[in-house]
Structure 1
Amino acid sequence: MKHVLIPAALALLAGCATSDDPAAGGFFNGVSGLAGGGYQARVDERQADVDSEQARAAALAAQQSSVAAQTASVGVQIDQLRDELTRLRIQIANQQAELRSSGVAIPASMVTRVNAVVNASPGGANDAERLANLQAAIANARALSADLARLSS
């Protein structure tokens, strides 16, 4: 009889619980949480939150890797454009020297453009601005080179 009475009393006392929250404390709440599965439900809920945050962290890490790859690619493009601008500057200097050695008069406005192209240092606050400014400087240098070529004709 004693063995039947103890579980029955525990079940009766567990029915008096007022909360499934283990933080609320108390013996009856603890028994109720264990017997009714409230604790396991809270553990499952917390695990789902952890799994969700881990998936979010993995997605953010993948996005960060993608951004890093794009940044590296833009860096390579910037280096290539700087190299191209340097080649164009050398070409313009050579064209100007050839025109002068041939006795061709270079208009003052064109000399001003040559100086502007040779001395320009395109930059920018970010990669997008640097790319745009380098592309504009290259377009100006190409146009100037074409104008110098027409003078030699």
Structure 2
Amino acid sequence: MPSSVHRARFGLLCCTLLSAACSVSDDPAQGGFFSGISGVASGGYDARAQALEGNVAQERERQADLTRQLASLEAEYTAERQSLLSRRSHLAASGVVVPGALDRQVTTALETRPSGSDDAARIASLTASIAQLRAASEDLANLGN
């Protein structure tokens, strides 16, 4: 009897180990030998690789969009800053006296440099600086009229 009990236990152990080895995952990092065979045969690995490549492509496109947006905002910032400098020079050449508070507003707008630790912060900073430059420019334009 003891040998039949040992055989039964051994058989149960083998079945348990075999079923554990057969658990299948599409993630190669979590799979074993049988998962690898199953993933290759079923196309699961290829589907997972394509999905991951799609994610990478989306992230690259998103980064390209952010880069374009930053370049556009930086060009707009430069143009607004130049416009404000030009308007200020024109008023000075015309002999128009700029009140102290407005002059400080203009100086602050011109001296504020956009910054940011990441793209989102840089975009927010550029947008705020552009708004500040425009407001100062409009105030100078109203002064000249």
Same fold (TM over 0.5): yes
Q: Which residue of 1 aligns with 2:94?
A: 102
The amino acid across from 1:119 in the alignment is E
* In 2: Cα distance, 1:144 partner to 1:69 partner: 36
Match of 2:39 among 36, 44, 49: 49
Letter in 2 for 1:72: A
User: 1:149 pairs with 126, 141, 144, which one?
Assistant: 141
In structure 1, stretches of 5+ residues that fail to align are 1-16, 23-41
- Aligned AA for 1:97? S
Measure the CA separation in 2 of the matches of 1:100 and 1:52.
Answer: 72
Please identify the structure whose Cα radius of gyration is greater. 1
Of 78, 87, 107, the residue aligned with 2:79 is: 87
Aligned to 1:140: 132
Question: Kindly tell me: are residues 99 and 45 of structure 1, through their superposed partners in 2, closer, same or farther at Cα, counting changes over 3 Å?
Answer: closer
Residues 1:47 and 1:135: Cα distance change in structure 2 (over 3 Å):
same
Distance in structure 1 (CA, Å) of the matches to 2:60 and 2:36: 33
What SS does the corresponding residue of 2:116 show, helix, strand or coil?
Answer: coil
Any idea what the Cα deviations from partners look like across 1:58-94, whole Å, max 9, x if unmatched? 2111111111111111111111111111111111111
Partner of 2:64: 72
What percent of counterpart residues are identical?
A: 30
TM-score (norm 2): 0.71
What root-mean-square deviation, in Å, do the aligned CA atoms of Structure 1 and Structure 2 show? 2.4
Unpaired stretches in structure 2, ≥5 consecutive residues: 1-9, 19-31
